[in-house]
Chains A and B, each alone.
Chain A
Amino acid sequence: MTKPISEGAESRIYPTEIFGIDAIAKVRGPKAYRVPLLDVSIRSTRTKKEAKIMALALSHGVRVPRLLGVSDYSIYMEKIHGNLMKDAKISGKQAEMAGTLLATLHNAGIVHGDFTPANILIGEDGKLYLIDFGLSEISHGAEGRALDLLLIKRQMGVRLYTKFVKNYSQGVPSAREIIKRLAEIEKRGRYQTRTLG
């Protein structure tokens, strides 16, 4: 295969082309350290889950790359041309748009799990796209949603986050409860009880 565009802990992203569309393949390669049965099970379960969540998000109107195909350990999706939000100077308008983006995702019953500017693409059309659903969960609880807010709050800084959370709150019916949970999480020390999920 060609050289990967990027390399994560559990997957590599390769450029490819499908039906004449610029595409990328997210491939979960084998890990030499794991016994083969466990390795195969982890890679295929996570690939299927990630694809399922992306499809669900798409069907609820969240802007994510369109799925072009799924195989055992690979997800093929359209390539969004643009820049990562982490590499751009984020405008107030874009912070608001990110708020709406996360609201739509949460309303679809999905928690992203790694909602940072490194996983938001600013498309050439000026719209925001959400990528990397590797740590996402289908969940309806406040905890996971508050953790999504926590990550972006830490990365954006106060001024942008204020704009972000304004739009987020307008979009999510249970926003008050989630923001209250966020305040609780921020008070927690690492050694105190943490809820899973």
Chain B
Amino acid sequence: MLVLGIESSAHTFGVGIVDGGRVLANEKAMYKIGTKGMIPREVAQTHISNCNAVISAALSKAGIKINEIEGIGYTKGPGIGTCLQVGQLAAKTIAARLCVPIAPVNHGIGHIEIARIMSGLKDPVALYVSGGNSQILKLSKASRRRYTVLGETFDIGVGNMFDTFARSIKLDPAWGSTVEKTAEGGKYVPMPYTVKGMDFSFTGLLTHASRLAASHRKQDVCFSMRETSFSMLCEATERAMLLSGSSEICVCGGVAQSARLREMLKAVADEHGARFGFAANEFNADNGGMIAFVAERMLTRGAEEKLRDCTIEQRYRIDSAEVFA
């Protein structure tokens, strides 16, 4: 089934085209974050002006015409309301115009499912780490129709911690990957380490790092923040894997682009003889491909939504979304 998916939950407006689980196109345009972060109204306006160009780019990349599309998917949530609305409106317009079925997709399910399936894992413990989310999940044993949250952040997502810190020490562009670059060659200074069972918390670490930044070398603080937060995630993931009896780990979401995080999780998996997998970076960053990918699985199993019920939900919980695993 030829499905077009639209992602617009945060700074990325992405359009993906999928056919039979193969991603034919995955185009995107991003809001330039600068040193100020995201201003919701401005991000949404940027998405509106990029919308047509990105859709056209995806269609020509896939070598198809718009009227060949057989189904539409869009991100229902979670995300920034104004941004979600842009993708929702575009998706509904195309679906109505072409008279094709439409499926609302949970953003997090998009990340996890594409990582899980592309890396060939069956029943992994999934670490989903991005700006807005940091959770450890696993398909529910009984039905495999929902993801169960085994552990999650008590406060902010780990990516949010990096982004906020990047802004506070005026890195440009102000986000996590710049912190990671700055961390190279840094030395470790002690930081607060907060893991409770399979849950974790990052605000204490953020506050402490911001204070240390005044008196320490940037690279040392960035290095220590990265090492501490990733160690916390690894410990919680390791515990979740052992307690749930899984022998597979997969990582997804924006922060999964970090080579260091992947190296550490690989070490966790190796210690227990477990398999470790992740998707290509284009699917870890926000993208339309994963939305099209999940939408196709939904539509081929008859999970289409009536146009008038195609809403957005800023706090769309990942464990309330139905999965077709």
Contact = CB atoms under 8 A, between A and B. Distances in A.
Contact of A38 (B193, B242, B265): B193
Contacts of B194: 196
Nearest to B149: A190
Interface in A28-54: 31-35, 37-38, 41-42
Contacts of B312: none
A194 B235 CA distance: 21
Given A38-B188, A196-B154, A32 B271 contact: yes
B196 interface: yes
B59 to A, nearest CB: 38
B201 interface: yes
B23 to A, nearest CB: 31
A88 interface: no
Interface residues of B, number: 29
A126 B264 CA distance: 45
Contacts, number: 58
A9 B238 contact: yes
A34 B190 contact: no
A9 B197 CA distance: 10
Contact of B231 (A34, A135, A194, A196): A34
Interface of B, secondary structure class, is helix
A9 B243 CA distance: 8
A9 B235 contact: yes
B53 interface: no
Contacts of A135: 196-197
A32 B272 CA distance: 12
Nearest to B201: A196
B87 to A, nearest CB: 24
B227 A35 contact: yes
Nearest to A113: B197
Interface string B189-206: 010011011000100000
Interface string A164-197: 0000000000000000000000000011001010
A8 interface: yes
Q: Chain A interface secondary structure, helix, strand, loop or mixed?
A: loop
Contacts of B238: 9-10
Contact of B227 (A7, A38, A190): A38
B267 interface: yes
A62 to B, nearest CB: 22
A135 B236 CA distance: 13
A194 B155 CA distance: 9
B295 to A, nearest CB: 25
Interface in B76-112: none
Contacts of A7: 242
A10 B271 CA distance: 11
B228 interface: yes
B268 interface: yes
Contacts of B163: none
Contacts of B188: 35, 37-38
A191 B317 CA distance: 9
A37 to B, nearest CB: 5
Interface of A: 7-10, 31-35, 37-38, 41-42, 113-114, 135, 190-191, 194, 196
Given A9-B238, A10-B238, A196-B194, 11 more contacts: A9-B235, A31-B235, A31-B268, A33-B231, A33-B234, A38-B188, A38-B190, A113-B197, A190-B152, A191-B317, A194-B154
11 contacts: A10-B238, A31-B234, A31-B235, A31-B268, A32-B271, A33-B231, A38-B193, A38-B231, A41-B190, A135-B197, A190-B152
Interface of B: 149, 152, 154, 188, 190, 193-194, 196-197, 201, 227-228, 230-231, 234-235, 238-239, 242-243, 263-265, 267-268, 270-271, 315, 317
Q: Which 5 A-B pairs have the closest CB atoms?
A: A33-B264, A9-B239, A33-B267, A32-B267, A37-B188
